[in-house]
């Protein structure tokens, strides 16, 4: 599971209002509704001029995530994710990653 976040504070990081150009990505591995690994990665692609959505999408595909959480996605990345069969969940900006996952029932 990955969410785009405003900070690098793991499960406490607030979800960013934007996706491809957010400052951080927070990646959470979940098993039996518990986090087994939480990682915050600065978004190296945030400043790119064009095609940022697909570049980020490609990076997500490479890292093997299966669920993406975002308030909204750009048209390019949503096209890519849907073609690759990755699930997209909508969450409002500002709530923490942990809270969003609990609301979705992905975490206890």
Partner 1 sequence: MEIVVASGKGGTGKTFLSSNMAIYLRDKGGVVAVDADVEAPDLLLALGGARRVLWREEYYGAKQPTIDYAKCIRCWMCVKACEFGALAASPKGPVVDYDRCEGLGTCSLVCPVNAIQLVEAHTGAMYAAESEAGITVITGDLDLGQGASGRLVYELKERAYELSRERNARYRVVDAAPGIGCPVISSIAGADVLIVVVEPTPQSVKGAKRLVEVADMLRVKTLAVVNKYDLNPDYARSIPEMLEVELVGRVPYDEAVVRSYTLMKPLLTYSPRSKAAQSLLEIFSTLGF
Partner 2 sequence: MARERPKVITVTGGKGGTGKTVIASNLAALLSSAGLRILLIDLDVENPCAHTLLGASLKVVEKVAIFKPLIDEKACTLCGECVSACPVHALAIVPSRKVLFLEALCESCAACLYVCPVGAISRGERIIGWIKEGRARSVDIVTGELKPGSRQYHEVMERTMDHARRVWRRYDIAVMDLPPGAGRGVYAALKLSDLALMVTEPTRLGLADLERLHNLAGKTGVKELVVLNKYGLPGGTAVSIEEFVSRERLKLVRVRYDPELARAYARGKLVVESPQSPSAQDIVKLMNVVADVLGLDAVKYM
Q: Does 54 bind partner 2 (CB under 8 A)?
A: yes
Q: Does 58 bind partner 2 (CB under 8 A)?
A: yes
* DSSP states along 7-28: S--GGGSBBPS-STT-SEEEEE
Q: Does 94 bind partner 2 (CB under 8 A)?
A: no
* DSSP states along 33-63: TEEEEEEEEE-TTTT-SS-HHHHHHHHHHHH
Among 2, 74, 91, 98, binds partner 1 (CB under 8 A): 74
Q: How far is residue 14's CA from residue 99's CA, in Å, rounded to a whole number?
A: 9
Contacted by 74, from partner 2, partner 1, none: CB < 5 to 8 Å by type: partner 1
Residues 15-44 that bind partner 1 (CB under 8 A): 17-18, 21
Q: Does 47 bind partner 1 (CB under 8 A)?
A: no
Q: How many residues bind partner 1 (CB under 8 A)?
A: 7
CB nearer partner 2, residue 84 or residue 90: 84
Q: How far is residue 93's CA from residue 39's CA, in Å, rounded to a whole number?
A: 19
- Sign of the Cα torsion 56, 27, 3, 42 reads negative
Residues found near partner 1 in the complex (CB under 8 A)? 17-18, 21, 50, 72, 74-75
């Amino acid at each position: 599971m990955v969410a785009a976040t405003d900070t690098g504070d793991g499960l406490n990081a607030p979800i960013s209002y934007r996706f491809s150009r957010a400052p951080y990505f927070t990646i959470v591995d979940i098993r039996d509704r518990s986090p087994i690994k939480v990682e915050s990665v600065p978004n190296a692609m945030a400043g790119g001029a064009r095609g940022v959505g697909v570049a980020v999408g490609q990076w997500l595909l490479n890292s093997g995530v299966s669920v993406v959480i975002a308030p909204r996605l750009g048209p390019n990345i949503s096209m890519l994710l849907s073609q690759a069969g990755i699930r997209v969940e909508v969450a409002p900006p500002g709530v923490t990653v942990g809270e969003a996952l609990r609301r979705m029932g992905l975490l206890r």
